[in-house]
Amino acid sequence: MLTAGWTVELLVLPWLVALVFFALIWPLSVLRKDASLVDLAWGPGFLLQFVVAYALSDDGGQRPEILLMLIAVWSARLGATLVRRRFADGYEDPRYTLLRESWGAGFWWKSLFIVFILQSFIQWLIIVGPITALAVPSSPLGVIGWIGCVMAASGLVIETIADLQLDTFRRRQHRGALMTTGLRAIVRYPHYFGEIVFWVGIACICAEGGAWLGVVSPILITVFLLRVSGIPLLEEHLAATRPEFAAYRARVPALLPSLKRLRAQ
């Protein structure tokens, strides 16, 4: 066991393990012509990296244990949801199909770098904040930490409800229908909103203990969802396949729930 501290092993080894984890899935994605298999490693990969760092640190305590528990629940929920949907849908996520079409015939080998290795690194950038909470002296949670716990738990509840509502909708409606009910009546992407709330909660727990790098996690999550692989690609797909999406987008905000629409429910 390594002494908890700012060690190269504590910060780098988790990513190397995740890199191998993602790389092992890549050949299967090539054989199946389905780059969205990478999503099956997204949630579990976070837990894998944190567990590796947790095992390297011998400074336990309330804060690391709570972080481990929250990240484990988040990872299990997301992993189970994505696996269930992937096998239920039976086709490649449209976001990756767009990438495949834009990158041409060489996408099969380019995907190793622009999808799999890149995602393992992005994952590390997000989880490295909580990992640094293992490298500072452990201390009991205070008010900010417990607020963070409540926020993280609330984010998980929001994501769970949003995903259950969407899965129920998909079973009852024809493929191609646009869901505008439930939580999606007040915010277009409630699961993304819950995701940000979760990571803000994690950041509070980390920062209270002196691991200020934890605040980077929700910032990166928000940037990626707003500007990179979340909302932009999803909205492009919905706009091209759902004629009623333009009107829906005009009346319902993307990430911040509309209090006006909430009161009207």
pLDDT in tens, 171-228: 888 778 899 999 999 999 999 999 999 999 999 999 999 999 999 999 999 999 998 8
* 190, 261 contact by CB (below 8 A): no
Query: Which residues partner with 2 through β-bridges?
Result: 57
Triad 135, 131, 117: Cα angle to 5°: 140
Question: If you search the block for the tokens 């079409």, which residue do you land on?
Answer: 101
Q: Quick check: pTM over 0.75?
A: yes
What's the length of the chain? 265
DSSP element (H, E) containing 182: none
